[in-house]
Amino acid sequence: MSPPVRLARIVAEMTGCSRAEAEQYIQGGWVRVDGQTEELPQRLIDGERVDIDPQAQLEAIEPATLLLHKPEGTAWQDAVALAVPANHTADDASGVRPLKRHLQRLTPLMPLDAEASGLMVLSQDGRVLRRLGEDYAHIEQEFVVEVSGATGPYTLGRLSHGGTYQGRELAPCKVSWQNEVRLRFAIKNVQPGELQYRCQQAGLAVVAMRRLRIGRVPLSRLPVGQWRYLPVEARF
């Protein structure tokens, strides 16, 4: 009886490629073992059927960035728990081929209040981590905030110039009414609890809050609790 053989060796023999190239095929999600995609080159094969996708290509495996619609009540640091295959939206038009490795070692970025829903970014990409981390204060975010309370001619002015919060002077932001109870904020360097504070200073109470956009990347029609890939060409 033959001993088990590493998957990478079998793929190298099947394709006539090098062991390194065989590992690249496997890690790229092009190889199936008994009909299931296998991404681990060291997987031991003991009689299982191995198939290689006819469309297989030797290509670099780029780190992934996921866009998630965080539900209300979920801490932003815990949003990575929602990055599972079952929550991948069927309407993902990014063109990125899903891989198991894309759901590992993800870092949540751009803090979002637990009471808020909306766009979250989860990334493996060092370039995205640096962009959203180092440039956080300069990236505009857009929110829709449902409020209750009496309004007047000075409400928008009080909202856009929020005074002092947690020991720092708040920079002006852009605020407009979407309808009678919903406000749109376009704001930079927003801190946890800041939007609630601005509304409180204007005599309003926050009923619900959702982040619609980070930089140039929108939430669009992504269902609550689901995620899609950030297209390779997209920039924040």
In this prediction, residues 193-201 reach a mean pLDDT of 95
Considering only CA atoms, which of 6, 7, 36, 41 is closest in space to residue 23? Answer: 41
pTM (2 d.p.) = 0.86
**Residue 1 pLDDT level (bands cut at 50, 70, 90):** low
pLDDT in tens, 81-99: 999 999 999 999 998 999 9
The highest-level CATH class for domain 65-229 is alpha beta
SS (H, E, C) the chain: CCCCEEHHHHHHHHHCCCHHHHHHHHHCCCEEECCEECCCCCCEECCCCEEECCCCCCCCCCCCEEEEEECCCCCHHHHHHHCCHHHECCCCCCCCCCCHHHHCCCEEECCCCCCCEEEEEEECCHHHHHHHHHCHHHCEEEEEEEEECCCCCCHHHHHHCCCEECCEECCCCEEEECCCCEEEEEEECCCCCHHHHHHHHCCCEEEEEEEEEECCEECCCCCCCCEEECCCCCCC
Answer yes or no: same fold for 5-52 and 65-229. no
Answer yes or no: is pLDDT of 162 > 90.
Answer: no
pLDDT in tens, 209-226: 999 999 999 999 999 999
In this prediction, residues 166-173 reach a mean pLDDT of 90
Domain ranges across the chain: 5-52, 65-229
More confident residue, 181 or 39: 181
Let me know: does 25 contact 31? Beta carbons within 8 Å. yes
CATH architecture, domain defined by 5-52: Roll (3.10)
Considering only CA atoms, which of 30, 31, 8 is closest in space to residue 19? Answer: 8
How long a stretch of residues is the chain? 236
Whole-number average pLDDT of the chain = 93
In this prediction, residues 118-122 reach a mean pLDDT of 98
What gap in Å lies between CA 128 and CA 136, rounded to an integer?
11
Task: Calculate the CA 173 to chain-centre distance.
Answer: 25
Task: Calculate the CA 228 to chain-centre distance.
Answer: 7
Answer yes or no: is pLDDT of 164 > 70.
Answer: yes
Question: Tokens 């905030």, residue?
Answer: 145
